[in-house]
Protein backbone atom coordinates (compact mmCIF):
# COMPACT_ATOMS: atom_id res chain seq x y z
CA UNK A 1 0.00 0.00 0.00
CA UNK A 2 2.01 2.93 -1.28
CA UNK A 3 -0.12 5.85 -0.14
CA UNK A 4 0.71 5.29 3.54
CA UNK A 5 4.24 6.53 2.94
CA UNK A 6 3.19 9.60 1.00
CA UNK A 7 4.58 12.86 2.39
CA UNK A 8 2.86 13.96 5.58
CA UNK A 9 0.16 16.58 4.96
CA UNK A 10 -0.36 19.24 7.62
CA UNK A 11 -3.85 20.44 8.52
CA UNK A 12 -4.04 24.23 7.91
CA UNK A 13 -5.40 26.25 10.82
CA UNK A 14 -7.32 29.53 11.30
CA UNK A 15 -5.96 32.47 9.34
CA UNK A 16 -3.67 30.51 7.04
CA UNK A 17 -6.67 28.36 6.16
CA UNK A 18 -8.70 31.49 5.42
CA UNK A 19 -5.92 33.06 3.40
CA UNK A 20 -5.57 29.94 1.29
CA UNK A 21 -9.34 30.05 0.73
CA UNK A 22 -9.09 33.74 -0.19
CA UNK A 23 -6.10 33.21 -2.46
CA UNK A 24 -8.00 30.40 -4.21
CA UNK A 25 -10.58 33.11 -5.05
CA UNK A 26 -8.55 34.90 -7.71
CA UNK A 27 -11.42 37.23 -8.58
CA UNK A 28 -11.49 38.83 -5.15
CA UNK A 29 -7.72 39.28 -5.30
CA UNK A 30 -8.13 41.16 -8.57
CA UNK A 31 -10.81 43.28 -6.95
CA UNK A 32 -8.67 44.07 -3.94
CA UNK A 33 -5.66 45.02 -6.02
CA UNK A 34 -7.73 47.24 -8.31
CA UNK A 35 -9.17 49.06 -5.31
CA UNK A 36 -5.71 49.53 -3.88
CA UNK A 37 -4.60 50.98 -7.19
CA UNK A 38 -7.66 53.23 -7.34
CA UNK A 39 -7.00 54.59 -3.86
CA UNK A 40 -3.35 55.22 -4.67
CA UNK A 41 -4.21 56.99 -7.91
CA UNK A 42 -6.83 59.08 -6.12
CA UNK A 43 -4.31 60.12 -3.48
CA UNK A 44 -1.59 60.86 -6.01
CA UNK A 45 -3.92 62.56 -8.49
CA UNK A 46 -2.40 66.06 -8.14
CA UNK A 47 1.05 64.69 -8.93
CA UNK A 48 0.29 62.14 -11.64
CA UNK A 49 -2.64 63.80 -13.47
CA UNK A 50 -1.31 65.05 -16.82
CA UNK A 51 -3.41 68.24 -16.68
CA UNK A 52 -4.34 68.80 -13.02
CA UNK A 53 -5.98 72.16 -13.74
CA UNK A 54 -8.53 70.42 -15.96
CA UNK A 55 -10.15 68.87 -12.91
CA UNK A 56 -10.95 72.39 -11.73
CA UNK A 57 -12.49 75.25 -13.64
CA UNK A 58 -10.05 75.34 -16.54
CA UNK A 59 -11.47 75.12 -20.07
CA UNK A 60 -9.74 74.76 -23.45
CA UNK A 61 -12.44 74.96 -26.09
CA UNK A 62 -9.80 75.03 -28.80
CA UNK A 63 -9.26 71.33 -28.19
CA UNK A 64 -12.76 70.14 -27.34
CA UNK A 65 -13.81 66.53 -27.97
CA UNK A 66 -10.41 65.36 -29.18
CA UNK A 67 -10.39 61.56 -29.52
CA UNK A 68 -7.93 59.55 -27.41
CA UNK A 69 -4.39 60.29 -28.52
CA UNK A 70 -0.91 60.23 -27.11
CA UNK A 71 -1.21 63.66 -25.52
CA UNK A 72 -4.74 62.99 -24.22
CA UNK A 73 -4.76 59.28 -23.45
CA UNK A 74 -8.53 59.14 -22.93
CA UNK A 75 -9.37 62.11 -25.14
CA UNK A 76 -10.87 65.43 -24.10
CA UNK A 77 -14.43 66.36 -23.17
CA UNK A 78 -16.86 68.95 -24.50
CA UNK A 79 -14.89 71.75 -22.85
CA UNK A 80 -11.52 70.45 -24.03
CA UNK A 81 -10.54 69.07 -20.63
CA UNK A 82 -8.34 65.99 -20.37
CA UNK A 83 -10.63 63.12 -19.38
CA UNK A 84 -7.87 61.06 -17.76
CA UNK A 85 -7.02 63.85 -15.34
CA UNK A 86 -10.66 64.34 -14.47
CA UNK A 87 -11.10 60.59 -13.92
CA UNK A 88 -8.21 60.57 -11.46
CA UNK A 89 -9.70 63.42 -9.45
CA UNK A 90 -13.13 61.84 -9.79
CA UNK A 91 -11.81 58.75 -8.01
CA UNK A 92 -11.27 60.91 -4.91
CA UNK A 93 -14.89 62.03 -4.94
CA UNK A 94 -16.36 58.56 -5.46
CA UNK A 95 -14.23 56.99 -2.74
CA UNK A 96 -14.97 59.88 -0.40
CA UNK A 97 -18.65 59.39 -1.12
CA UNK A 98 -18.45 55.73 -0.21
CA UNK A 99 -16.66 56.57 3.03
CA UNK A 100 -19.02 59.36 4.09
CA UNK A 101 -22.17 57.46 3.23
CA UNK A 102 -21.12 54.26 4.96
CA UNK A 103 -19.89 56.10 8.05
CA UNK A 104 -23.23 57.84 8.48
CA UNK A 105 -25.17 54.67 7.69
CA UNK A 106 -23.02 52.61 10.06
CA UNK A 107 -23.14 54.90 13.06
CA UNK A 108 -26.85 55.50 12.73
CA UNK A 109 -28.00 52.07 11.63
CA UNK A 110 -25.96 49.63 13.70
CA UNK A 111 -26.69 51.06 17.17
CA UNK A 112 -30.39 51.32 16.34
CA UNK A 113 -30.41 47.78 15.01
CA UNK A 114 -28.65 46.40 18.08
CA UNK A 115 -30.98 48.26 20.45
CA UNK A 116 -34.04 47.04 18.59
CA UNK A 117 -32.76 43.47 18.60
CA UNK A 118 -31.53 43.56 22.18
CA UNK A 119 -34.44 45.23 23.95
CA UNK A 120 -37.16 43.92 21.67
CA UNK A 121 -40.74 44.86 22.49
CA UNK A 122 -41.70 48.51 22.00
CA UNK A 123 -38.21 49.67 21.03
CA UNK A 124 -38.03 46.91 18.44
CA UNK A 125 -41.46 47.79 17.06
CA UNK A 126 -40.78 51.53 16.77
CA UNK A 127 -37.30 51.29 15.27
CA UNK A 128 -38.03 48.49 12.85
CA UNK A 129 -41.31 50.00 11.65
CA UNK A 130 -39.44 53.22 10.85
CA UNK A 131 -36.83 51.13 9.06
CA UNK A 132 -39.66 49.50 7.10
CA UNK A 133 -41.00 52.88 6.05
CA UNK A 134 -37.58 53.85 4.79
CA UNK A 135 -37.01 50.61 2.96
CA UNK A 136 -40.34 50.78 1.16
CA UNK A 137 -39.05 53.83 -0.73
CA UNK A 138 -36.37 53.00 -3.32
CA UNK A 139 -32.96 54.25 -2.19
CA UNK A 140 -32.40 56.45 -5.23
CA UNK A 141 -35.81 58.07 -4.91
CA UNK A 142 -35.47 58.94 -1.24
CA UNK A 143 -31.86 60.04 -1.62
CA UNK A 144 -32.90 62.22 -4.55
CA UNK A 145 -35.69 63.82 -2.54
CA UNK A 146 -33.50 64.41 0.50
CA UNK A 147 -30.63 65.88 -1.49
CA UNK A 148 -33.03 68.23 -3.31
CA UNK A 149 -34.54 69.21 0.03
CA UNK A 150 -31.04 70.07 1.27
CA UNK A 151 -30.42 71.98 -1.99
CA UNK A 152 -28.45 69.91 -4.50
CA UNK A 153 -24.70 69.71 -4.18
CA UNK A 154 -22.06 67.05 -3.70
CA UNK A 155 -21.86 67.09 0.10
CA UNK A 156 -25.63 67.15 0.51
CA UNK A 157 -26.04 64.23 -1.84
CA UNK A 158 -23.56 62.25 0.27
CA UNK A 159 -25.47 63.12 3.43
CA UNK A 160 -28.73 62.26 1.73
CA UNK A 161 -27.54 58.81 0.69
CA UNK A 162 -26.20 58.15 4.16
CA UNK A 163 -29.55 59.19 5.55
CA UNK A 164 -31.18 56.62 3.31
CA UNK A 165 -28.63 53.87 3.85
CA UNK A 166 -28.88 53.43 7.63
CA UNK A 167 -31.91 51.21 7.25
CA UNK A 168 -30.04 48.27 5.69
CA UNK A 169 -27.37 48.32 8.40
CA UNK A 170 -30.13 48.57 10.96
CA UNK A 171 -31.80 45.46 9.56
CA UNK A 172 -28.55 43.52 9.46
CA UNK A 173 -27.50 44.45 13.00
CA UNK A 174 -31.03 43.65 14.18
CA UNK A 175 -30.98 40.16 12.71
CA UNK A 176 -27.50 39.39 13.97
CA UNK A 177 -28.35 40.65 17.46
CA UNK A 178 -31.40 38.44 17.63
CA UNK A 179 -29.30 35.34 16.95
CA UNK A 180 -26.28 36.31 19.06
CA UNK A 181 -28.56 37.29 21.94
CA UNK A 182 -29.38 33.59 22.41
CA UNK A 183 -25.73 32.53 22.80
CA UNK A 184 -24.72 31.25 26.21
CA UNK A 185 -21.92 33.70 26.81
CA UNK A 186 -24.39 36.57 26.52
CA UNK A 187 -26.80 34.93 28.93
CA UNK A 188 -24.00 34.16 31.36
CA UNK A 189 -22.57 37.66 31.31
CA UNK A 190 -26.13 38.93 31.78
CA UNK A 191 -26.46 36.75 34.83
CA UNK A 192 -23.13 38.15 35.99
CA UNK A 193 -24.89 41.51 35.89
CA UNK A 194 -23.04 43.16 33.00
CA UNK A 195 -24.64 46.45 31.90
CA UNK A 196 -26.80 46.43 28.76
CA UNK A 197 -24.44 48.86 27.05
CA UNK A 198 -21.51 46.61 27.81
CA UNK A 199 -23.31 43.58 26.43
CA UNK A 200 -24.57 45.38 23.34
CA UNK A 201 -21.34 47.03 22.28
CA UNK A 202 -18.62 45.00 23.96
CA UNK A 203 -20.03 41.55 23.37
CA UNK A 204 -22.71 41.56 20.65
CA UNK A 205 -21.13 44.12 18.33
CA UNK A 206 -17.72 42.38 18.10
CA UNK A 207 -19.52 39.15 17.26
CA UNK A 208 -21.09 40.62 14.13
CA UNK A 209 -17.93 42.46 13.05
CA UNK A 210 -17.13 40.07 10.21
CA UNK A 211 -20.69 40.29 8.83
CA UNK A 212 -20.58 44.07 9.05
CA UNK A 213 -17.21 44.14 7.32
CA UNK A 214 -18.58 42.16 4.40
CA UNK A 215 -21.67 44.36 4.32
CA UNK A 216 -19.53 47.52 4.28
CA UNK A 217 -17.45 46.25 1.39
CA UNK A 218 -20.43 45.22 -0.67
CA UNK A 219 -22.40 48.39 0.06
CA UNK A 220 -19.48 50.68 -0.76
CA UNK A 221 -20.01 49.72 -4.36
CA UNK A 222 -23.75 50.30 -4.31
CA UNK A 223 -23.36 53.60 -2.49
CA UNK A 224 -21.14 54.77 -5.35
CA UNK A 225 -23.75 53.61 -7.83
CA UNK A 226 -26.49 55.59 -6.13
CA UNK A 227 -24.24 58.61 -5.70
CA UNK A 228 -23.25 58.74 -9.35
CA UNK A 229 -26.86 58.15 -10.39
CA UNK A 230 -27.98 61.13 -8.34
CA UNK A 231 -25.30 63.34 -9.87
CA UNK A 232 -26.39 62.01 -13.26
CA UNK A 233 -29.95 63.11 -12.52
CA UNK A 234 -28.57 66.54 -11.67
CA UNK A 235 -29.23 66.53 -7.93
CA UNK A 236 -25.65 65.88 -6.90
CA UNK A 237 -22.32 67.40 -7.78
CA UNK A 238 -22.46 70.46 -10.04
CA UNK A 239 -20.00 71.45 -12.77
CA UNK A 240 -17.09 71.85 -13.12
CA UNK A 241 -16.63 69.19 -10.42
CA UNK A 242 -14.94 66.12 -11.89
CA UNK A 243 -17.61 63.71 -10.69
CA UNK A 244 -17.95 60.49 -12.68
CA UNK A 245 -21.74 60.44 -12.88
CA UNK A 246 -21.73 64.08 -13.95
CA UNK A 247 -19.09 63.40 -16.59
CA UNK A 248 -21.29 60.72 -18.11
CA UNK A 249 -24.29 63.03 -17.95
CA UNK A 250 -22.42 65.64 -19.96
CA UNK A 251 -20.70 63.22 -22.28
CA UNK A 252 -23.98 61.63 -23.37
CA UNK A 253 -24.87 64.72 -25.37
CA UNK A 254 -22.04 64.01 -27.78
CA UNK A 255 -22.83 60.37 -28.50
CA UNK A 256 -22.39 58.72 -30.90
CA UNK A 257 -19.93 61.04 -32.63
CA UNK A 258 -17.79 61.34 -29.51
CA UNK A 259 -18.07 58.20 -27.41
CA UNK A 260 -15.06 58.69 -25.14
CA UNK A 261 -16.42 61.38 -22.80
CA UNK A 262 -19.24 59.10 -21.66
CA UNK A 263 -17.52 55.72 -22.05
CA UNK A 264 -14.51 56.14 -19.79
CA UNK A 265 -16.13 57.68 -16.70
CA UNK A 266 -18.75 54.95 -16.83
CA UNK A 267 -16.03 52.31 -17.07
CA UNK A 268 -14.36 53.87 -14.04
CA UNK A 269 -17.57 53.63 -12.01
CA UNK A 270 -18.17 50.10 -13.22
CA UNK A 271 -14.64 48.91 -12.43
CA UNK A 272 -14.71 50.43 -8.96
CA UNK A 273 -18.08 49.02 -8.05
CA UNK A 274 -17.20 45.64 -9.52
CA UNK A 275 -14.00 45.39 -7.55
CA UNK A 276 -15.82 46.30 -4.34
CA UNK A 277 -18.23 43.49 -5.12
CA UNK A 278 -15.49 41.02 -5.98
CA UNK A 279 -13.69 41.80 -2.75
CA UNK A 280 -16.89 41.66 -0.73
CA UNK A 281 -17.74 38.35 -2.36
CA UNK A 282 -14.35 36.94 -1.42
CA UNK A 283 -14.70 38.18 2.16
CA UNK A 284 -18.15 36.64 2.31
CA UNK A 285 -16.70 33.22 1.51
CA UNK A 286 -13.75 33.91 3.78
CA UNK A 287 -15.90 34.60 6.85
CA UNK A 288 -18.63 32.25 5.65
CA UNK A 289 -21.30 34.83 6.44
CA UNK A 290 -24.48 35.55 4.52
CA UNK A 291 -25.44 39.14 3.77
CA UNK A 292 -28.45 39.70 1.55
Nearer CB in complex with other proteins: 60/181: 60
- List the x/- string, 190-229, binding to other proteins by CB under 8 A: -------------------------------xx--x--xx
Handedness of CA 138, 144, 147, 153 (dihedral sign): positive
- Choice between 110 and 249, CB closer to other proteins: 249
In this structure, what are the phi and psi dihedrals at residue 164, rounded to the nearest 5 degrees?
A: -80, -35
Nearest to 243 by CA among 94, 78, 83, 58: 94
Residue 257 in contact with other proteins, rule: CB under 8 A: yes
**Nearest CB to other proteins, comparing residues 104 and 146:** 146
Please pick, from the candidates 42, 73, 274, 289, the single residue that binds other proteins as defined by CB under 8 A: 274
Contacting other proteins within 63-82 (CB under 8 A): 64-65, 78-79
Show Cβ contacts of residue 177 under 8 Å, excluding neighbours closer than 6 positions. 113, 114, 116, 117, 118, 200, 204, 208
The residue count for the chain: 292
> Which helix (H) or strand (E) covers residue 94, if one does?
helix 83-119
Ranges of beta strands (E only) in 11-125 are none
With respect to other proteins, which residue has the nearer C-beta, 159 or 263?
263
Footprint of other proteins on residues 134-163 (CB under 8 A)? 134-142, 144-146, 148-149, 151-152
Q: Contact region for other proteins (CB under 8 A) — 107-115, 129-137, 194-202, 205-213?
A: 129-137
Amino acid sequence: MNDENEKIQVRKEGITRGLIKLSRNRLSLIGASFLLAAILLALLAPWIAPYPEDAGGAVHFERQLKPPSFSYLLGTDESGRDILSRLLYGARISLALAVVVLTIAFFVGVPLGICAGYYGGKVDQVIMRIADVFSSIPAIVLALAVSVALSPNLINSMIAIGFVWWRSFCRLAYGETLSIKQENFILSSKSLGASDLHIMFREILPNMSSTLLVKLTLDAGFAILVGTSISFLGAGASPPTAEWGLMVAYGRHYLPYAWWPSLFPGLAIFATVLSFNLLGDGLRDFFGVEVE
